[in-house]
Amino acid sequence: MRKLYRLPRSSKFESIMNKPYFRHLFAPELKSPVFVEGLPGFGNVGKIAAGLLIDFAQAKLFAELYSPYFPDYVIVDKEGICRPPRYEFYASSTGKNHFIILTGDTQPSLEDLVAHYETCGEILDFVGKYGCRLLVTIGGVPTPEPKGEIYVAATSKKLASNIAEKGAATYGMGRIIGATGLLLGLAKIRGLKGLCLLGATTGLKADREAAFSVFQFFMKTLGTDVKT
């Protein structure tokens, strides 16, 4: 037998995976970016909308988040290459508004409350270092017969009504679960302003229409004067 495997000398067998781990690819230069979150959820509205924004804003992947709260499998692509599930952070500095966009393969299990709180806290810490000035979370809201409605909730009444004026309904007297809700809630405790855009969806399958409606509304809203 011959040894022909070529391994880098510096193969890093280092940290133990018992806490979330950020892996930086490059350090983007961003000016007071808006942080946008779109993760898997009802109708995959958030994830699809985030993908549309990533394309539109020519955003580049600059960081990955791996976490022991994510599923304990690896994802294998069609060429047989595997990687653990992860969150991805994209940066865009091409337009007037700079963006950090979060999307990913998964979310922590809804039953693991601490995982959800800790992960959202880590993410707010992370984007806080880039001076984010506004948080926008995007998700779906289950509706029997969706007709493209957009709902808004926010960290303040002023911000909520301001966004509602642009054509969204106020999402009142309810709950918003997962990262889409919790990021906003934790942002509020930290004194950060944020809003949540929810697209009406049956939630039964990936809903590109609902996601596109939210994306359009997002672009329209960010292009005009929003009083916070």
Span 151-210, contacts to its own copies by CB under 8 A: 152-157, 160-161, 164, 170-178, 181-182, 184-186, 188-193, 196
Nearer to its own copies, 49 or 124 (CB): 124
Nearer to its own copies, 103 or 162 (CB): 162
Residue 107, Cα to own-chain centre: how many angstroms? 10
Q: Is 26 exposed, middle or buried (0-12, 13-18, 19+ CB in 10 A)?
A: exposed
Residue 102 CB contacts under 8 Å (≥ 6 apart), including other chains: 35, 36, 37, 38, 39, 50, 87, 88, 89, 90, 123, 127
Q: Is 61 exposed, middle or buried (0-12, 13-18, 19+ CB in 10 A)?
A: middle
* Pattern 104-123, its own copies, x by CB under 8 A: -----xx-xxx-xxx-xxx-
Nearer to its own copies, 5 or 145 (CB): 5
Nearer to its own copies, 128 or 142 (CB): 128
Tell me the closest approach of the beta carbon of residue 63 to its own copies, in angstroms.
13
Q: Report if residue 73 touches its own copies, rule: CB under 8 A.
A: yes
Residue 62 CB contacts under 8 Å (≥ 6 apart), including other chains: 24, 25, 26, 27, 28, 89, 90, 91
Tell me the closest approach of the beta carbon of residue 184 to its own copies, in angstroms.
6
Nearer to its own copies, 51 or 108 (CB): 108
Nearer to its own copies, 118 or 209 (CB): 118
Q: Which of 129, 144, 145, 204 binds its own copies (CB under 8 A)?
A: 129
Tell me the closest approach of the beta carbon of residue 146 to its own copies, in angstroms.
19
Tell me the closest approach of the beta carbon of residue 6 to its own copies, in angstroms.
5
Tell me the closest approach of the beta carbon of residue 161 to its own copies, in angstroms.
8
In this structure, are residues 17 and 86 in contact, taking their beta carbons and an 8 Å threshold? no
Q: Report if residue 94 touches its own copies, rule: CB under 8 A.
A: no
In this structure, are residues 215 and 53 in contact, taking their beta carbons and an 8 Å threshold? yes
Count of C-beta atoms within a 10 Å radius of residue 211:
25
Residue 97 CB contacts under 8 Å (≥ 6 apart), including other chains: 33, 34, 222
